[in-house]
Amino acid sequence: MIYYKTEEEIELVRKSSLLVAKTHAEIAGLIKPGITTLALDKIAEEFIRDNGGFPAFKGYGGFPNTLCMSPNEQVVHGIPNDRFLENSEILSVDCGVVMNGYYGDSAFTYEVGEVDVETKKLLKVTKESLYKGIEQAVAGNRIGDIGYAVQQHAESFGYGVVRELVGHGVGKNLHESPEVPNHGRRGKGVMLKEGLVIAIEPMINMGTKCILQHNDGWTITTIDNKPSAHFEHTIVVRKGKAEILSSFDEIEKKING
């Protein structure tokens, strides 16, 4: 069942989503060679709790940490650990927060040190794909219009669009209906109406679209071990233009010095 949000509920999702954004910004400047993902995870958890929220992912389905941290060929759901990040890697960070009974969810893929031109392009195109999808998230369109826009942009560069993992509704639960695939056909799927709050999250691979789940039950990697990027915003469907409830502004200020 799809649950449309009141303006009061949308504001609560916005507050949670902005705490997600601030959490990203808190660690963005620390993502450098020589730090561990576990250290970053602890900083994020402390920041979320200090600001009145709770880590949405910790304990969710048994997930052990605050952030999903997925380097290089890991697509999503990477578990933070004690390995030191190295120069020229990338790191996808997915963060969720629950506050006042409502969730926020956003992901960003970071460069670690100096990254090669091919990988920079993957990140750029994946982020562009996200915004192409958001442009279609307007009242009167359908879910398929979002996926089509993401897919067409990413595939025009020869990239693989992950099929098995999707965006989702966000609200009183971290994952609500409807599912929001990153591929699809225009004019197909659920009709988008005002007040629908969804997370749109392209997961785009440099090589094949095919993925593999590891024995830990969480980590997903590309089957050819080529890099994967992941960007996500929580948005609300409006007439004419979607409204983004999360933010990359503070992250990009940190990254750009």
Q: Which CATH number does the domain housing residue 144 bear?
A: 3.90.230.10
Tens-digit pLDDT profile for residues 22-72: 999 999 999 999 999 999 999 999 999 999 999 999 999 999 999 999 999
What pLDDT was estimated at residue 218? 97
Contact 172, 207 (CB under 8 A): no
Quote the distance between the C-alpha of residue 37 and its chain's center.
Answer: 17
Quick check: is 2 in a domain?
no
- Judge whether 11 lies within some domain: yes
Within a domain: residue 1? Answer: no
Could you read off the pLDDT of 181-195 as tens digits, one per residue?
999 999 999 999 999
Structural domain for 112, as ranges: 7-255
In a domain, 148, yes or no: yes
Confidence at residue 95, expressed as pLDDT on a 0 to 100 scale: 98
- pLDDT tier, 257 (very low <50, low <70, confident <90, very high otherwise): confident
Q: How many domains does the chain have?
A: 1
Specify if 53 maps to a domain.
Answer: yes
Residues 6+ apart with CB under 8 A from 123: 90, 109, 111, 115, 229
